[in-house]
Amino acid sequence: MTLLEEISQNPVPSHIAIIMDGNGRWAKQKGLPRTSGHKEGLEVAKKIIKAAGKIGVKYITLYTFSTENWKRTEEEVGYLMNLIATHLRAEFEFYKENQIKVQHIGHLEGLPQKVQDTIKETIEDCKNFSGITAVLAINYGGRDEILRAIKKLNKEQISALDEKNFSTNFDYPELPDVDLMIRTGGEKRLSNFLLWQNSYAEMEFVDTLWPDYTEDDFYSSVLDFQKRNRRFGGV
């Protein structure tokens, strides 16, 4: 029985979030500049989005650029911004062929104008597609999202605060809680990623560096998720 056949026997996670870690280390191991790792990582991201859509995942959130990543060298940050701006538009046929909707979470106004415009245009161009929604976390930090939601609430002057009306002020309110959170690269931490939405996520930490991560690695993580007993605080 193939991995896909095994997966099909049980419900798949509705929302999978991935910390795509290890691009720089992968490049270093091969004697390449870090930028080569990011370029290779982009190709892997496309394969995994497509694989997730194939098994019926509704949302996949990819940690693309964090609020802390601005601390990296000017050269690397510039390359990443250009990569995002260039490839989001260039991959439209890929989105169309696979019916992928694109969404964004993160502090949009803190990005270069070219990147902002590209993100908005891509979301608009893909809004009527019927497949998986790929949520790109760009200039994203979990604490930052929560703080910005609080600022929105202060302006609205809501008297009775609860989880529902609080979360409606997040960057993409329709995004459900994470079912499965995967981190590649061997590190075992959240790194400020979807702190609210990951509250009851099942965690999967793998040693494989992101550019070496395959569809079968992804399917194995989903199979592991299907074997877990999620109690959400109950018995």
Q: What is the pLDDT of residues 56-107, one digit of tens each?
A: 999 999 999 999 999 999 999 999 999 999 999 899 999 999 999 999 999 9
State the Cα–Cα distance between residues 9 and 7, nearest whole angstrom: 5
State the Cα–Cα distance between residues 208 and 229, nearest whole angstrom: 25
State the Cα–Cα distance between residues 9 and 57, nearest whole angstrom: 14
- Mean predicted confidence (pLDDT) in 142-162: 87
- Mean predicted confidence (pLDDT) in 147-161: 84
| 3-class secondary-structure state, position 139 | strand
The least confident of 28-37, 41-50, 147-156, 224-233 is 224-233
pLDDT of residue 2: 87
Q: Is 162 noted as a catalytic residue in this protein?
A: no
| 104 phi/psi in degrees, rounded to 5 | -130, 140
Question: What crossing angle do the helices spanning 215-226 and 34-54 adopt, rounded to 10°?
Answer: 50
Tell me the domain boundaries of the chain: 14-143+178-226
pLDDT of residue 127 exceeding 60: yes
Question: If pLDDT is split at 50, 70 and 90, which confidence band does 234 have?
Answer: low
pLDDT of residue 76: 94
pLDDT of residue 188 exceeding 60: yes
Assessment of whether the complete model's pTM goes beyond 0.85? yes
pLDDT of residue 15 exceeding 80: yes
Q: Which long-range contacts (CB under 8 A, 24 or more apart) does 210-214 make?
A: 210/20, 210/21, 210/22, 210/23, 210/26, 210/41, 210/44, 210/184, 210/185, 211/22, 211/23, 211/26, 211/27, 211/37, 211/40, 211/41, 211/44, 212/22, 212/26, 213/20, 213/44, 213/48, 213/184, 214/47
pLDDT of residue 47: 97
| 98 phi/psi in degrees, rounded to 5 | -100, 5
CATH 1.20.1250.20 fits 14-143+178-226, yes or no: no
Q: What is the mean pLDDT of the chain?
A: 94
Helices (H), strands (E): how many in the chain? Answer: 9, 6
Q: Is 69 noted as a catalytic residue in this protein?
A: yes
pLDDT of residue 233 exceeding 80: no
pLDDT of residue 44: 98
Q: Which of 10, 21, 23, 229 is catalytic?
A: 21
- Mean predicted confidence (pLDDT) in 150-170: 85
Residue count (the chain): 235
pLDDT of residue 114: 95
Q: Which of 10, 23, 69, 144 is catalytic?
A: 69
pLDDT of residue 235: 54
Strand ranges across the sheet with 15-19 = 101-105, 133-140, 59-66, 15-19, 180-183, 202-205
